[in-house]
A and B are shown apart, each in its own frame.
Chain A
Amino acid sequence: MAILILYILLNVVVVAFFLDEILKKTNPSQDILYSFNGYIIYYFLMDLLLRFQMQELPTLSVRPYLHLRIKKHQLINYLSLTSLWTTFNITPVLLSLPLLIKIVLPQQGPAQFWGLLLSIIGVTLSNHFFSLWIKRKVNLNAVWMLIFLGTLLLFVSLDFYFKLFSISTLSAELFTFVVASPLFSFLFLFIAFLVYFLNYRYLKSNLYLEELHTADSSHKSSTEIPYLNRFGKAGDLAGNELKLILRNKRPRSVITMSLMFMFYGLIFYTNPTFSGYAGIVFCGMFMTGIFIINYGQFMFSWQSAHFDGILVSKVNAVDFFKSKFLLFTLFSSLCFILTIPYVYFGWKVLIVHFVMFIWNLGVNTLLVLYFANQNYRRIDLSKGATFNWEGVGASQWILSIPLLLAPFILYLPMSLLGYPEGGLAAIAIIGLFFMFSREIWLSKLVKKFQEKRYLIAEGFRNK
């Protein structure tokens, strides 16, 4: 996840710096600032949708202070202020600032620059407190999300395909007006303040953990995952871990993000400049191996809460590791199947995906488990995964280096010599080699685990 967030932020920065160029290309007939303004409302509607889905509610952080001699309004301000530090609030400024400096400041002047910037900040803050308020007030389940997304898509299609009415024109006119009369931006700040006050009043009358923190009280039933039984004890362990993933918030959001990654190929394959193998190798590795990378990088921290229990129970370390391989194979196969439709972009895409699927199972599983033996950080499963840095340490960063470089070290020399197929074959052969010699590496991993288990257990006990 750490790699992912950094990667996304990097993308944002790059997009921000070339935003004026991008806008010039996509809307050549229009003034750059006018087209920029046209996207603002859409951006914030998407922003709101994502916030509903992913923004954390910082509620439990006030628990240790509730019974102390601290006034309620101080607690609420504390809650509100600490919630501000999220990527959702940084991104809009980060995205618009380069364009504002490059275009608005020299062409229009400082007052106009500040007017537009403050308006954007105002809308950001309104979105922020509105999503906090609505998320606390109503339990937004998937149905609401779909309704919101559906309405948004309807607006987009009405806007761009049927041209019935245009939100983008509305957005463009509104913010062009702000540029013309910068004092108008204070209205947006005032709206932000109103939403803040709405949120404040709601919190003030409902500052009880029980009410703010909606505990899931539905009936939990015992289930059995049928297919895994045939793998013996390793299968039982994998079944337990599957339940861990499905029943806890943080691993569940890892899965959601992994599924979103299945669309990653659309960015690359639709672009003709990435017609070579290298792009597909990169994409294929991420899409078929996203679970191994995203979930595997935090092993065994997922089980940190009951790691002592695993060590003292009759769980064999070999079975423990085999259950991980089982889980990796299961999810990677699922990802491979889900990416089969990319065959639309040519058979070679499917073949490269398959090669990278083998590479992931052969090499990346071992790599991830090797680093799992050096990971002593506890993870709280009940917190969301987005922008959660708990459990992120040096091990995740170091892991990403061989993970990203290894396939290219094999591929690039051959490709530069003019045999890209040879490079691909090298990846496949090495992948198969490690897959078939897995038992050897497994015993090495188990041996290392037996040495390190005291350190791992001790680290996991530190809350």
Chain B
Amino acid sequence: MISISNLKKTYNGVTVVNIPELFKKKGETIGLVGNNGAGKTTLFRMMLDLIRPDSGEVISDGKNVAESENWKDYTASYLDEGFLIDYLTPEEYFHFIGGLHNKTKTQVDAELPSFSEFFNGEILNKGKYIRDLSKGNQTKVGVAACLIQNPQLLMLDEPFANIDPSTQIRLKNMIKEISLEKHITTIISSHDLNHITEVCERILLMEKGEIIKDIATNSNTLQELEQYFSVLS
């Protein structure tokens, strides 16, 4: 699905991302962990063609993301609130995003009830613009907008931060479900090692821009990661 080669980005002489080679298979659920400044968000942004890499390329489904825009047809992502149009109501935003993927308003409206448990009654028909929602509720809007796009590739940057424990559990179940049923490739970053090892079948550990560990998740993974992070500090 995605292959990265010789990807490099430096800011003021500091290398933020340096990945010689990385493959992501279709249908994989991949977790990205690493301390602040490890380069997770920069990697996401380069995979989404928001930042131009100094060298190297990201190939998605056979095409370079910086050259072809085909990846936008099957890629949905939510990195931060900068992805939301904050002066719209959540409903208007969902309709707009659905419309970009040729879904009518009624089609989108028909899909929204399936999120009712995830939204926990805090998103729809509240008479608020997205900018007036709490950060956690904004994350819910962002994640739901991703799923409305029926993506083949899903990227979420720290989706578990800011949302309440019940929603965290529901989000975990949702991600597991879609990767099982729809065979979606998912890339998630998180600081919560419990969640990430529970959801993801493959974990990438980043440090100073490099992927220093690439682990297929097993029963020892959590321990292994905890050990790494405790030694580091």
Contacts and interface: CB of A to CB of B under 8 A. Distances in A.
B61 interface: no
A215 B72 CA distance: 37
Contact of A312 (B75, B92, B95, B99): B75
Interface string B75-99: 1010110111111110110011101
Nearest to A306: B85
A306 B86 contact: yes
A220 B50 contact: no
A272 to B, nearest CB: 47
Interface in B93-119: 95-97, 99-101
A156 B73 CA distance: 64
B22 interface: no
Contacts of A244: 85, 87
Nearest to B99: A236
Interface string A447-463: 00000001001100100
A308 B127 contact: no
A452 to B, nearest CB: 11
A236 B92 CA distance: 11
Contacts of A314: 72-73, 100-101
A308 B85 contact: no
B100 A454 contact: no
Interface centre among A244, A307, A454 (most CB of B within 10 A): A454
Interface string A320-351: 00000000000000000000000000000000
Nearest to A461: B82
Contacts of B132: 215, 220
A308 B83 contact: yes
Contacts of A305: 82, 86
A204 interface: no
Interface string A211-229: 0000100111111000000
A326 to B, nearest CB: 16
A444 interface: no
Interface residues of B, number: 32
A101 B100 CA distance: 65
A239 to B, nearest CB: 9
Given A220-B129, A312-B75, A315-B100, A240 B51 contact: no
Interface in A208-258: 215, 218-223, 233, 236, 240, 243-244, 247-248
B96 A220 contact: no
B26 interface: no
Given A220-B127, A311-B50, A314-B73, A306 B96 contact: no
B131 to A, nearest CB: 8
B183 interface: no
A244 B84 CA distance: 13
Given A308-B79, A314-B73, A454 B51 contact: yes
Interface size class of A (residues with CB under 8 A): 20 to 34
A221 B128 CA distance: 8
B12 to A, nearest CB: 13
Contact of A236 (B73, B91, B96, B129): B96
B87 A247 contact: yes
A307 B80 CA distance: 12
Nearest to A217: B132
Given A220-B128, A221-B127, A313 B100 contact: yes
B42 to A, nearest CB: 11
Interface string A367-400: 0000000000000010000000000000000000
B99 A306 contact: no
A28 interface: no
B198 interface: no
Contacts of B80: 308
Contacts of B51: 454, 457-458
Contacts of B87: 243-244, 247-248, 381
B139 to A, nearest CB: 14
Contacts of A215: 132
A150 interface: no
A71 B98 CA distance: 51
B99 A309 contact: no
A306 B29 CA distance: 27
Given A306-B85, A308-B82, A454-B52, A247 B100 contact: no
Nearest to B87: A247
Contact of A457 (B50, B91, B96, B99): B50
A461 B95 CA distance: 26
A312 B79 CA distance: 11
Given A314-B72, A454-B51, A457-B51, 11 more contacts: A218-B127, A233-B100, A306-B85, A306-B86, A308-B82, A312-B48, A312-B72, A313-B72, A313-B97, A314-B100, A454-B52
What are the nearest 7 A-B pairs in CB distance? A219-B127, A309-B83, A314-B100, A247-B87, A308-B82, A454-B52, A222-B91
9 contacts: A220-B127, A220-B129, A222-B92, A222-B95, A308-B83, A309-B85, A312-B48, A312-B72, A314-B72
